[in-house]
A and B are shown apart, each in its own frame.
Chain A
Amino acid sequence: MQTTNYKVINGPEGYLPPAAASMGVVLPDEGEALFEGKIMLKEEVMKKIAVKLLEAKNPTFFPGPLVLWAWNEKAIEKAKAVKELAEIVGAKIIPMPDYRPKYPMINPEEEINPNHPNLTIWHNKIDVCVFVGVHCHYANLALKIIRGGTNCYTIALCGNYGHEDAMISLRDIYAEEVRSLTDVVKSMKKGGK
C-alpha cells in the first residue's frame, strides 16, 4: 500500500536525486499505472500521457534495443506500434542502441546513452521524452539522471512492472497496449476527452 507523499516530477532535482523507490513510491499492480509517484488506473494515466505528449514543444521517443532490433515477432510488432504512435504525436525518435558508456562521448544529435542521457536532452532541448524497449536497469539509471539534471518530463512504457523513477509509467506494455495509447492520442487530437 502506498503511503508516501513524494512526487516524482520533472527536475532538475539536483545531483544524485533519491531513487523514487527509496522515497516510498511503489510499483503498480496489473491494470494500474504510476503518475508522478502515485498509483492510478491505467486508462486515466493513458489520457495523461496523451495530454503531456500533445502539449509538449519537443516530444521525443527513446526506443531501446528491445524494440530497435528485430529479435522476435513481438519486438517487430511493438516497433511498428511505437513508430506509429511517435508519428501521430509528431515526436522525434532518437534511439538508444547501446548501453555502454562511450568515450570520449556520444553524438547527441543521433543517439542517447543511459549513462549520460542529459547530454541528448540538453542538446535537443527535449521537454517530454518516452522510454520504450529499454532494459529495466538502464531505464532506471537514465530516468534518475534525467530527473536529477534536466527539466524533461519522463514517460516510461515498460514491458514489465513499470518504473518508479519515471514521472509517468505504464506497465505490461506490448504492441497492443501501444496501439491503445495511440487511439487515446488520436481521439484527444480530435478534441475528445
Chain B
Amino acid sequence: MSVKIVKISPGFEEIMPKDYKDLVSNGPYGKGFGIKELGTFKELIEEHPLCAGCGLALSKRLILASLPSPENTIIVGTTGCSSLSFSQVALHNIHSIFGNQNAVATGLKRALEIRFPDVIKDVVAIGGDGAIGDIGLGMVMHSWFRGEKFATIMLDNESYANTGGQESGMSQQGAVLNMAPTGKKYNKLPMAEIARDAGCVYSVSVTFAKPKRLEKIIRRAVLIARQLGPTYIQIYCPCPTNYKHKPSESLERARDAEKSGAYPVKEYMSPEAEELIKKLEEGKKC
C-alpha cells in the first residue's frame, strides 16, 4: 500500500464508514509514529472481540504501533485467538491455515521483492504459540533454515486458548488448564534458543511489561530482517480466561513473570545484527 493511495474516491467520502474516514484523515501511515504517539492518531486496531484483559490484544496494539513502516507492512496471521482480531487491523493482512504463516510469508516476501523492487515491503508473521511452536513448527523452522528475510512474532499465551484451554508446547511444566487437568508433564519449549540455533540473526523472549522496550525490539526485528535474515520475537501474553486471573491483573502478571524468572527476558543477536543495529540506532544509516 502506498501512502498516496490511502485516499477515498471523490463522491464516496460521505458514505464511507467513519473508521475508514478517520484512517485517511488521522491515520499513522507515513508519519513514523511509535507507541509514544498512541492515542494521538487513529489506531491501527479497532474494537476487537478478544477477552477483557487479553495479553494478545495489548501486545498486538503495541506491535502495530511499533512497526517502522506500517503502510508498507503486510502481516501474515494464522488460526488462533490472535486471528479473531485481524479483521480489525488497518494494515494489509493475510490469514493462513493453522501453522502455515511462515510458508505463506516466505512466498509473499519473495513475490513482493519481485513486484516492488524499489520499495521496502516488510512482512511480519504473527501467530500464537500453537501455530508457531507446535503445529507450524516445521514450516517456521524451515523458513529460518532458509534465511527468509521477515520477522516472526509469537504471541505466547501458553495454551490453546480459544478451543477450551489445552496445553501447548509453550505451556510451563505443571501448568493446569481446563483441558489439561493433570498438569503439563514436560518443559516449556526453548523457542528463543531454537530460533537462534536455526538461523535467526535476532531472537528475543520478552513480555509487554515495558512497552518502550517492546517497541525497540519490534523495530529491531523488522529492520534486521529487512537486511540480514530471519528474526524471532516471543511475547508473553497472559490469558485471564484460561489461567483464571482477573482481566485487570494481566500487566501485573507479565511484570511478575519477568521478575520471578518464570518468563525471562532474553535477547540474542548475531555479530552482524549487532553491528547493523549499532549503525541504525546511532542514526548513521536508516
In the complex, the answer to whether B17 meets A80 with C-beta atoms within 8 Å is no
B10 touches A70 (CB 8 A): yes
Q: Does A6 contact B (CB under 8 A)?
A: no
Q: Per-residue 0/1 for A37-55: is the Cβ within 8 Å of any B Cβ (1 yes, 0 no)?
A: 0000000000000000000
Interface residue stretch chosen among B1-9, B225-233, B236-244: B1-9
A residues less than 8 Å from B17 (CB atoms): 95, 97, 107, 110-111
A184 close to chain B: CB less than 8 A = no
Distance A98 CA – B48 CA, assembled complex (angstroms):
15
Hey, which chain B residues are within 8 Å of A93, CB to CB? 12, 15
Of A71-79, A120-128, A161-169, the one with at least 4 CB within 8 A of chain B: A71-79
Chain A contact patch, size range: 20 to 34
- Which residues of chain B (34-59) have a CB below 8 Å from chain A? 48-49
| Listed stretches A11-19, A26-34, A61-69, A148-156; interface member | A61-69
Out of A72, A80, A101, A110, name the residue touching B11 (CB < 8 Å).
A80
- Docked-complex contact B88 and A75, CB < 8 angstroms: no
Which residue of the partner chain, among B8, B15, B48, contacts A69 with CB atoms under 8 Å?
Answer: B8
Determine how close the nearest CB of chain B comes to the CB of A107; give it in whole angstroms. 7
> How far is A83 from B10 in the complex, measured between Cα atoms in Å?
9
Find out whether the CB atom of A79 lies under 8 angstroms from the CB atom of B88: no
Interface digits, A83-103 against B, CB 8 Å rule (1 contact, 0 not)? 100000000011101101111
Give the dominant DSSP class at B's interface: loop
A71, A83, A102: the one within 8 Å of B88 (CB): A102
Q: Are B16 and A68 in contact (CB under 8 A)?
A: yes
Contact A70 B7 (CB under 8 A): yes
Closest A residue to B86 by beta carbon equals A100
* B8 contact from A68, A94, A98, A100, Cβ within 8 A: A68
Give the CA-CA distance A107 to B19 in the complex, in Å: 12
Which residues of B sit under 8 angstroms from A67, Cβ to Cβ? 9, 12
Question: How close is B34's CB to chain A, nearest CB, in angstroms?
Answer: 26
Cα(A75)–Cα(B8), bound, Å = 10
Q: Does A191 contact B (CB under 8 A)?
A: no
Cα–Cα, bound, A68→B12 (Å) = 6
> Cβ of A95 and Cβ of B49 under 8 Å apart?
no
The residue among B15, B48, B49 with the most chain A CB atoms within 10 A of its own CB is B15
CB neighbours (8 Å) of B88 from chain A are: 102
Q: Give the docked Cα–Cα distance between A130 and B195 (Å).
A: 50
Cβ A79 vs Cβ B87 within 8 A: no
Q: Indicate whether B84 reaches chain A with its CB closer than 8 angstroms.
A: yes
| Chain B: minimal CB distance from A42 (Å) | 25
Cβ–Cβ < 8 Å partners of B263 in chain A: none
Select which of A76, A97, A102 is within 8 A of B87 by beta carbon.
A102
A133 to B40, CA, bound (A): 33
Interface residues of chain A, those whose CB is within 8 Å of chain B, are: 63, 67-72, 75-76, 79-80, 83, 93-95, 97-98, 100-104, 107, 110-111
Please list 5 pairs of residues, one from A and one from B, whose beta carbons are closer than 8 Å in the complex, sorted by A's number.
Answer: A70-B8, A95-B16, A97-B20, A103-B49, A103-B84
Known: A68-B9, A71-B5, A79-B11. 6 other contacts (CB 8 A): A70-B7, A70-B8, A97-B20, A100-B87, A100-B93, A103-B48
